[in-house]
Structure 1
């Protein structure tokens, strides 16, 4: 064992990460799935409704929704995302020893798969899975732009906050994989603008016209009728979120700001633990063959980060937002690697400081949902 730790600690870190994920899963299935379960109950029974797409799809197969479906559906989506990311990393970098530290810092990051396991049943992972798919499929025609737009609209119907959470990253992927390669033309520019406008209009419809119009008691009674176990009425305690206005969400977020802002130093420390990864990302950007590509990548990173700042001001699930921001950076890194002359020395597998940081990142089980851990 000591010889394995000294000669190949990075593969041992992967094994430890698997154990940590199993531990997070065992912890998660003991918790009440308040918000995820309600999302499986809400559909379009009362007309166009925000956050209702997944519930509507579930309703096609289940007249009565069991609680275990939260973990079953969430687990399947998690496994699909793991498989997609593994395929993406293999295609982009490969699984040789030279790139094993990079894989550990990304796949083993508490921001990524481990935190998706902790937020099992939430909607964040759907945006990540779509973005990975767009990094895997060919990007040689306008069909790629249309596919990205359709996927983004589905995300907005799942939850309109995806407009800030993953749609900006999807836009960056489309620009880097399609527009920088095919070059801008009148036709593809028009399609891109039309796609962006359509997604924006759908978001506005969900945000301002997707709230419930029936009395809350009637809405709750309908959800109660869809429960497989109607005795667990405590799981309906979050039904009020379909009645919250944007103003109310802003008020709640800023009311909690003084206590939630205390977690920022912890988030900063977690980001610093990934320093070898960020240094590698910066080297990739500096090595790009064209200065225009470099400027566009930097602008894309700024745009995605600004979207998350807006989200921080609106909704207080800070641990989820900072985790998904990091995941977006991981995905953009993969897109940058495909650009011309994007080469950088791999993260050192023998540097002592890097190895220590790798172990710390491996042992941190998750980031959380609202507050750190």
Structure 2
């Protein structure tokens, strides 16, 4: 009985990952949801302001926001992410013994579902949800481009940093699934450019015109009036982020840089542990039948990475940015797999000892974190 497990331990690693996710969830619900909770309180009561869409939707259903709603909403978003990913993986690769290492390396990565569980209530996961939906939707008409534009607008209204976090990945998915697969015309190019212009304009409006137009004390008083338990004033300590200009965010990031940069070796180690996955992705790109497709994919990966470098310079939640960058790469991998290839790429070997060790280590890492690693 033990010999088959040692030869192909990926089923065991999958079960361990499920247990780790449960442990991360238990740990998460015991922590005060400082930033996630206040986002449920902020709405458009004072006019158009940044980071207010989710709170505005919540305000349609309740005047008083309980703390447990953070975990109910974010937990539902996590489950939707899981279901969409399972459907996408099944459609792209299928579930079998041969694809099990690839599935475990992605689904069990500390960058992905486990870190989304650790960051319950934060806005990152919504970008992943919309990208997964676009990878599953029919892409033959302009309705697909319109849906991508609508999703991007929603993401920017949730938090304008999504313009750098997930909108570049959404653009890449649209290019791969619509423009490369169904051709480029003046109509669809013009439609895409107009959509991109609208999303960009909304970003600048949120960034520079989305400040709350009243004194912070009055703003906090309004948020307190929406709390189910107004005595928990510690949950309002991050109200300043609706007043903080971009220059202050950049200066804070620079101030924390000497301390936070110490995590770079850990980030490098985590990237190295994903080597079998990166090698498989590189082989998929190399196997593409069209040279232009290969160049566009490489250019898109560089563009997505540059967007994250800009985020690194602006806001110091480095562990979150690193994790979401990896998630974007996982999503693009699925998009690339459906492009025409000149040869079949062999799956990640299930019997390779080094790959098995990498899989075990990644399985045992519960999450990456928010600011600093772990």
* Fold equivalence (TM over 0.5): yes
The Cα shift of 1:105 comes to: 0.5
List per-residue Cα deviations over 1:59-80 (Å, max 9, x = no partner). 1111100000001111000000
Q: Does 1:348 align with 2:349?
A: yes
Cα distance in structure 2, aligned partners of 1:352 and 1:137: 38
Tell me the equivalent position of 2:223: 223
Cα distance in structure 1, aligned partners of 2:329 and 2:156: 21
Tell me the equivalent position of 1:248: 248
Tell me the equivalent position of 1:372: 373
Summarize the alignment of residues 207-218 of structure 1 with structure 2, pairs less than 5 Å apart. 207-218=207-218
Tell me the equivalent position of 1:14: 14
List per-residue Cα deviations over 1:113-157 (Å, max 9, x = no partner). 000000000000000000000000000001100100000000000
SS in 2 for 1:258: helix
SS in 2 for 1:97: coil
Say if 2:8 and 2:351, in contact at 8 Å, map to a contact too: no
Tell me the equivalent position of 1:304: 304
Cα distance in structure 2, aligned partners of 1:31 and 1:212: 28
CA RMSD of aligned residues (A): 0.8
Say if 2:84 and 2:129, in contact at 8 Å, map to a contact too: yes
Cα distance in structure 2, aligned partners of 1:288 and 1:28: 42
List per-residue Cα deviations over 1:268-287 (Å, max 9, x = no partner). 10010000000000000000
List per-residue Cα deviations over 1:13-60 (Å, max 9, x = no partner). 110000000000010011000000000000000000100000000011
SS in 2 for 1:265: helix
Cα distance in structure 1, aligned partners of 2:234 and 2:16: 36
Cα distance in structure 1, aligned partners of 2:361 and 2:85: 22
Cα distance in structure 1, aligned partners of 2:4 and 2:372: 36
Q: Does 1:204 align with 2:178?
A: no
Q: TM-score normalised to the size of structure 1?
A: 0.99
Tell me the equivalent position of 1:81: 81
List per-residue Cα deviations over 1:144-202 (Å, max 9, x = no partner). 00100000000000000000000000000000000001211110110010000000000
SS in 1 for 2:99: helix
Tell me the equivalent position of 1:43: 43
Give structure 1 stretches of 5+ with no counterpart. none
Say if 2:127 and 2:155, in contact at 8 Å, map to a contact too: yes
Cα distance in structure 1, aligned partners of 2:62 and 2:257: 40
Tell me the equivalent position of 2:361: 360
SS in 2 for 1:212: coil
Tell me the equivalent position of 2:239: 239
SS in 1 for 2:230: coil
The Cα shift of 1:4 comes to: 4.8
Stretches (4+) displaced over 3 A? none
SS in 2 for 1:289: coil
Tell me the equivalent position of 1:103: 103
Cα distance in structure 2, aligned partners of 1:287 and 1:279: 12
Say if 2:63 and 2:226, in contact at 8 Å, map to a contact too: yes
Summarize the alignment of residues 1-373 of structure 1 with structure 2, pairs less than 5 Å apart. 2-341=2-341, 343-373=344-374
SS in 1 for 2:44: coil
Number of equivalences: 373
Cα distance in structure 1, aligned partners of 2:42 and 2:5: 49
Q: TM-score normalised to the size of structure 2?
A: 0.99
Give structure 2 stretches of 5+ with no counterpart. none
Say if 2:211 and 2:243, in contact at 8 Å, map to a contact too: yes
